[in-house]
Amino acid sequence: MVTIGALLIGFSGHLQQLMAAGIALICVTILATLGEYVKLKNSVNLQVSRICDEKLSLGAQNPIRISLRNRSYMTLRGMVRDEYPEGFDAKGNAAPFCISPRADLELSCTVIPSKRGDFEFADTYVRINGPLGLAIMQMKYNTKQPIKVYPNLLDMRRYEIGLRRERPVQPGQKVVRVYGMGTDFESLREYVPDDEFRSIDWKASARRGKFITRQYEAEKSQNIMLVLDCGRIMGPIVNGLTRLDHSINAAMMLAHVATTKGDKVGIMAFAEDIISYLPPRAGKSQTLNLLRLTYNLSDASGDSNYYRAIPYLSKRWTRRSLIVFFTDLVDPQSSKPLISQISGLARKHLCVCVSMADPAVIEAASGRLDESADAFKAAAARQVLQARKLAAAQLAHAGAIVIDVLPDKLTPDVVNEYLNIKGSARL
């Protein structure tokens, strides 16, 4: 409207009456805009709140809801924007809305934290358009909220749902009971050709007139020790998270599964020195203790001192356990401290070394060679992969089980290896 008024004034040189018409139109527009703004200011009664968990999951899509309550007697249209913590990725945090009088509305969005630790959501901003579209009123709502970013809790919840439904909902999940070579008697069933003869219950077979097999459940109350390498080799980012973040996610999922199976779980984190130590205990409360201990762990700038860490662990915890190391393999020379220390530790404990391959290196090793630079890049990548294989082979020769997989397979493969160990009674 103001633009039309200005055009009328501009053409008033050709027709003098256009000057008065243009000025009148501008004045009417200004008065209408002021009136609309005053109406918005006096009539709008909007309540805004954010609904989200106090603990968010690292690297996962965490649902956030923005609740709008219109206590006005007019329809409100506009835009809402929720300010999320710096460094997070968000989808849907800025969205248009339209709320009828005396009605409620919930808008959904997701945030993906890229770091663990303590953060804070900022305020929520709302812009409301006037009925004629002439005025816009912006309001700020104090919705500041402290939150903690933990390892991936959403996967743990999905695992529990899968167990209750007795079906897996993601890779790495199996039924609650793991049958194998354990010593805990579970039930009797009819013999099948693949069963071992030593598992036949001869008394039950005589009573029923056919072969009956004893079925055993994997033993409980076994000891699992998680060892997190927090040295500088765990700092590089792979698929949006550091190696340490991926490792902590996998370790916490393993801890959750192990406590669900009735085992005791503990943890040790180290870099140049011992950062934290928690001996194995059973129960869901131990999982919470592990989460509290790991949610603000960060990678160190120094090298990992295995010559201090493993002797410290051997002295503090002497019972036979499944010890799972989360680290990275570079080459036999760089991994020599780990290999030399595990060779002694594996005489008493069952050791598993978990390492994560870099998809970029694998892609470079198998990529197309369009230019000479690509050939050098592929050769270097193949050399890195070969060095990792040699380090893994030496670890396996020292008595450790080695898991070296891509990031998306890290958690499922670690959990499945634990379940296989339980089922075969190797611990």
| Residue 73 CB-half CA count within 13 A | 3
Give me the tens of pLDDT residue by residue for the chain, a chain 427 residues long: 556 555 555 545 555 555 666 566 567 666 666 767 777 777 889 999 999 999 999 988 999 999 999 999 989 999 999 999 988 999 999 999 999 999 999 999 999 998 999 999 999 999 988 877 777 888 999 999 999 999 987 777 776 655 554 444 444 444 334 444 455 556 677 777 766 666 777 777 778 777 778 766 556 789 999 999 999 999 999 988 999 999 999 999 999 999 988 999 999 999 999 999 999 999 889 999 999 999 888 887 788 999 999 999 999 999 999 999 999 999 999 999 999 999 999 999 999 999 999 998 998 888 766 676 678 888 888 999 999 999 999 999 999 999 999 999 999 999 999 999 988 878 7
Residues whose CB is less than 8 angstroms from the CB of residue 5 and which lie 6 or more positions away in sequence, other chains included: 21, 22, 23, 24, 25, 26, 29
Tokens for 135? Answer: 């005025």
Distance CA 309, CA 289 (A): 21
pLDDT computed for residue 130 by the predictor:
82
pLDDT computed for residue 352 by the predictor:
97
Per DSSP, the three-state class of 181 is: strand
Prediction pTM value: 0.76
Beta strand 401-405 with 350-356 is parallel
Residue 342 is which amino acid? I
Distance CA 352, CA 342 (A): 10
Distance CA 328, CA 231 (A): 10
pLDDT computed for residue 175 by the predictor:
39
* DSSP character string of 13-54: GT-THHHHHHHHHHHHHHHHHHHHHHHHHHH--EEEEEE--S
Residues whose CB is less than 8 angstroms from the CB of residue 271 and which lie 6 or more positions away in sequence, other chains included: 229, 230, 231, 232, 299, 300, 302, 303, 304, 305
pLDDT computed for residue 346 by the predictor:
93
Distance CA 27, CA 232 (A): 67
pLDDT computed for residue 23 by the predictor:
64
Arch. (CATH architecture) of 223-423: 3-Layer(aba) Sandwich (3.40)
Question: Is the Cβ–Cβ distance between 199 and 232 less than 8 Å?
Answer: no
Per DSSP, the three-state class of 364 is: helix
Run of H or E residues at 289: helix 284-294
pLDDT computed for residue 219 by the predictor:
67
Number of helices and strands (H, E) in the chain? 11, 21
Residue 99 pairs in a beta bridge with: 76
Superfamily of domain 46-150 in CATH is Immunoglobulins (2.60.40.10)
Question: Is the Cβ–Cβ distance between 45 and 60 less than 8 Å?
Answer: no
CA neighbor of 156 nearest in space, from 90, 67, 248: 248
> Taking the domains of the chain in order of start, what are their residue ranges?
1-30, 46-150, 179-217, 223-423
Distance CA 218, CA 252 (A): 21
pLDDT computed for residue 168 by the predictor:
45
pLDDT computed for residue 177 by the predictor:
42
Task: Check for a shared fold between 46-150 and 223-423.
Answer: no
Crossing angle for the helix pair 17-43 and 2-10, to the nearest 10 degrees: 170
- Distance in Å from the first CA to the final CA of the chain: 81
